[in-house]
Amino acid sequence: MTQPNPLLLPGDGLVIVSCIPTPVGPYGNAVEPPVAPAVRATIKEQHNRGVALFILPKSVARACLDEGIPFILNASAPVSSPWHVESAMARHLVATAAEAQHLGAQAIAVDVILGGRYELDQIEHLRKTVREADAFGMPVVARMQVVGWNVDSGLKRYTNAESALYAAQVAKHLGADVVQVVASRNSLQAAVRNSAVPLLGALTAGDVGVELPSLFANVLDAGACGAVLGVDTAHPATLATASRQTEMMLGIVNRRVENERQRLALLHSNSDWGEVVVPFPRRLPDCEIAPLPGAHYQ
């Protein structure tokens, strides 16, 4: 029986890992290395622990075909990030909706950097991909960022509420089903409240250690349906760190599920409604319940 698409299920708490092979060759050209066995093993382990989806480039998706990993195919070049906006690779898509369908992807993702050098090309990428994906009934995830140039500091990424909402609205009008944005907790909350499309919060590579649980909890508190953690698969040392980070995130999801279950059980303790159904994903197996950070949780 076909498994339901996690992106289309109600509730929050989606943990999505984005695998990013980032080595850059001469003149900014992407050089995607062979997929190491450790990468496949880490992806499989994280899936077994409860990671809902992986955003994968074609090379990694092909290497993991035999593992039955639910994934979103990344149609954009791996250098399509704010720090590589000058690379000509950002002008081209490297995968199509037809390829995503052939590989068995749950969805297809497109990067759009508003304010980047190739903004218009990437907007056209998203528009074209939405049209193609519609033919297969495949959801499209728009991975939106807003950047600008500062005279003193150079390239700057904007994470305020106006930028997050603007990015979400652009993606929505182009037909995206789910939008990933980079924003602070308050900014994301405002974007969620004022946009009519499910939002994912992006956790950047610098969100490590003790900060990450708070950041992830803030993303869920803001009303986002989940978070995307970027992992650089080009450096094996980062894979172990990624495992610890996703473990913390999954533990927070478990705690939220358990808290909601207890709240509903108390609310309906005198009713005959039977088993309490929690409007979140089921508790994730093989993952401890983590204490929730910050003052928001009691």
For the ranges 3-7, 152-156, 224-228, which has the lowest average pLDDT?
Answer: 3-7
CA dist., res. 30 & res. 38, Å (int): 21
Q: Is 295 exposed, middle or buried (0-12, 13-18, 19+ CB in 10 A)?
A: exposed
Q: β-strands 140-150, 154-158: how paired?
A: antiparallel
The mean pLDDT of 173-200, rounded to a whole number, is 84
- Is the pLDDT at 130 greater than 90? The verdict is yes
- Is the pLDDT at 193 greater than 60? The verdict is yes
Higher pLDDT, 161 or 141: 141
Handedness of CA 191, 78, 107, 233 (dihedral sign): negative
- Is the pLDDT at 97 greater than 90? The verdict is yes
Whole-prediction pTM: 0.79
- Residue 202, classed as helix, strand or coil, is strand
DSSP states along 58-117: HHHHHHTGGGT--EEEE-B-TT-SGGGTT-GGGGSBS--HHHHHHHT-SEEEEEEEETST
For the ranges 36-50, 104-118, 226-240, which has the lowest average pLDDT?
Answer: 226-240
The pLDDT confidence band at residue 274, using thresholds 50, 70 and 90, is: low
The pLDDT confidence band at residue 124, using thresholds 50, 70 and 90, is: very high
What the block records as the tokens of 59 is 């090379």
The mean pLDDT of 196-220, rounded to a whole number, is 73
CA dist., res. 94 & res. 90, Å (int): 10
